[in-house]
Structure 1
Amino acid sequence: MIEKTGFVVDEVSEESFYQNLLLGITKTLESSPCVHNTNLRRYRGLKDTDIRAWEHNNGVLLSEDMRNFYSSTNGFLFTYNFAYENNEGKVIAALGKIEMNPLENMSRTYGYETKPKGEIETVEGKYKLCLSRESKVFELSKIDDNNKVVLVYVNIYCLSSIWLYCAPYQFYFLADDFITYFRMCIAHLGIPYWQFMVTNEGIPEWSREMFHIIAPGVLQEDRNLIQINKKEYEELNKLDVSIFTMHHQYNENNAQKNKEQTVASPQHTSKKKTKKSTKVSHPTKARKS
């Protein structure tokens, strides 16, 4: 079972930002003898002008949590190798992954059926997606050649939501916002095909075995992700969305500080040539006092 993990950020460095974002799952995974080679690929956060350019080119607005996420890190990729020999002597090998595409790679997805009106209906307690020509779908992460996680705008005036897209033409609801989906990824440890819990077919048997080995208790036979209250994920992992904004501010403050030091250094050098140079305080130090 995943340990309940919380955090308090006093000063956000790049290292602590990613540690807090992963919520301790690296430690949980590495405690299993079946997990090896955990790896995190880091991306530099985007400028606000880059985010606005993507929005302008695609005719949609990102939600606040997604804007803060991409300001902090332009995408996310955490992977690990899993290998296990079952009772039949068969080796199960898989790549665990939590991935969010860089913004420039979050491209339009086409090929789905459209209707005159785009809307989200409720049928027998489940959400059904109807897309129109005004609807827009973007690839958030790729599962395999036929399946992907997508960001869906029913129309340009609606907020986006997260869906599993299975070709051809099948959409399954995952989360109504980005931060909830990110929590779900962490709660399920990036085990391959966990998103298929919302489908009629369910997850593959080998993926189910992975759950039983490295995350016993997380997978429940009768659970329906659509009907799960968000508080369940908050109990599993307390992801404070403010770290996105705080990390962005940290980068901006560092950039501004470096700029001030660059501008101040010629002045400091020129005054050092005079006899009165010892009485002149450094502009950066004076600002701190």
Structure 2
Amino acid sequence: MEETKDSLAFKVVAERLTLGITRTLEHMPGVVDVRFAEREPAEKRSLLSWEQKNTCILPEDLRDFYLTTDGFTLTWSVKLDNECVPLGCMMINSVTRLCPLLQPVALFSLPNAPSLADLDWEESSTESGLEHAPAAPRFDSRSRIFELDSCGGNGKVCLVYKNCTSGVVAQQSEIWFLDRSLFWHFLTATFTSYYRLMITHLGLPEWQYAFTPYGPSPQAKQWASLYQPLTLSCELSLADLAGDSYLNKLDPIKAFKGRAKAPAPKKKQPTQCSIGGANKGQGNTGGRHSGTKR
């Protein structure tokens, strides 16, 4: 009886945490093996220890999230040719895995080894065409960056504190996406908004790239068109309203300029010498033929 109550309580918590997305996934065609990992709430002392260690105050919504569950993992697969293929993954790291992205330089590393701070450069939003875009995080001490999700190796979703000062507790945070080319892309201003985005996109592969200028890969778009057609069509329509400035349009006139097929060379007119030689050859041939007739 107690086990039944515990299972019912877990289902209620799971429904509340996943916003009912588990039932939606289970009714989708081809979706199998929907798994939600149950986790205990994080202890308050763990949250306080994290804040003291990193000199940052956790946002209130993220703190409430960790006091409900210490991390989040929901995965689902699709059935292709009688084989289960992992596809969707929604993940939020636990408090212990909410580690700084910029780890301190190891003592045994090379003295002149490059770091992420060496790749940082000044780039104004006006020059990139994004006048109202927030300032991107920095790879140096001006920003404190913590990894929320590794995105399966396709990038990193990070909790970012900007405009930091050494020894001063940082309080204001944002959610940013760092792609594989080490470019920053703003996602949301709060953890709650990002959590809703993650649920809405069903944890599909590369869904964070929908908020980048170049978008997800063609394969990821195919999966999104199957399991998330409404959201994908809205994103494409917004891109059309924006002028499709980020779509890779091919202009064959410009792209293949100078690579057109060369015209066939004109045949040279025979010169008088060649005509004479040809007539001479014909005459000799005629002589041989006449000799044969005799």
TM-score surpassing 0.5? yes
Indicate yes or no: 2:93 matched with 1:101.
yes
What pairs with 1:5-20 in structure 2 (closer than 5 Å)? 13-20=9-16
Aligned residue among 152, 155, 159 for 1:147: 155
Aligned residue among 200, 209, 214 for 2:213: 200
Indicate yes or no: 2:64 matched with 1:68.
yes
Distance 2:80 2:217 in 1: 16
What is residue 133 of structure 1 aligned with on the other side?
A: 141
Q: Which runs of 4+ in 1 moved over 6 A?
A: 114-120
What is residue 112 of structure 1 aligned with on the other side?
A: 116
Q: Deviations over 1:7-56 (max 9, x none)?
A: xxxxx943312111212211221122221100011111112111100111
Aligned residue among 237, 240, 247 for 1:222: 237
Distance 2:118 2:64 in 1: 32
TM-score (norm 2): 0.64
User: SS in structure 1 opposite 2:91?
Assistant: strand
What pairs with 1:177-256 in structure 2 (closer than 5 Å)? 177-220=190-233, 221-223=236-238
Using the TM superposition, give the Cα deviation of residue 125 of structure 1 relative to its aligned residue in structure 2, in angstroms.
3.8
RMSD over aligned CA atoms reads 3.0
Distance 2:44 2:84 in 1: 44
TM-score (norm 1): 0.65
Q: Deviations over 1:158-187 (max 9, x none)?
A: 411111112443110111110000000111
User: Which amino acid is 1:14 matched to?
Assistant: F
Using the TM superposition, give the Cα deviation of residue 115 of structure 1 relative to its aligned residue in structure 2, in angstroms.
10
Label 1:146 to 1:116 Cα distance change in 2 as closer, same or farther (>3 A): closer
Structure 1, unpaired ranges of 5+: 1-11, 86-90, 228-289
Using the TM superposition, give the Cα deviation of residue 141 of structure 1 relative to its aligned residue in structure 2, in angstroms.
0.6
Between Structure 1 and Structure 2, the one with more strand by share is 1
Is the 2:154–2:179 contact (alpha carbons within 8 Å) kept by the matching residues of 1? yes
Indicate yes or no: 2:38 matched with 1:31.
no
Q: Deviations over 1:96-142 (max 9, x none)?
A: 01100011011111253479999996733433404241311001011
Distance 1:185 1:18 in 2: 16
Q: Deviations over 1:42-80 (max 9, x none)?
A: 111112111100111111110111111101100000000
- How many pairs align? 209
After the TM superposition, which of the residue ranges 175-184 and 41-50 deviates more from structure 2?
Answer: 41-50
User: SS in structure 2 opposite 1:126?
Assistant: coil
Is the 1:92–1:206 contact (alpha carbons within 8 Å) kept by the matching residues of 2? no
User: SS in structure 2 opposite 1:105?
Assistant: coil
The structure number with the bigger radius of gyration is 2
Distance 1:113 1:183 in 2: 32
User: Which amino acid is 2:211 matched to?
Assistant: V
Distance 2:221 2:77 in 1: 16
Label 1:213 to 1:201 Cα distance change in 2 as closer, same or farther (>3 A): same
Label 1:100 to 1:210 Cα distance change in 2 as closer, same or farther (>3 A): same
Distance 1:212 1:176 in 2: 27
Label 1:48 to 1:176 Cα distance change in 2 as closer, same or farther (>3 A): same
Label 1:117 to 1:107 Cα distance change in 2 as closer, same or farther (>3 A): same
Residue identity (%): 28
Label 1:118 to 1:103 Cα distance change in 2 as closer, same or farther (>3 A): farther
User: SS in structure 2 opposite 1:189?
Assistant: coil
Is the 1:117–1:130 contact (alpha carbons within 8 Å) kept by the matching residues of 2? no
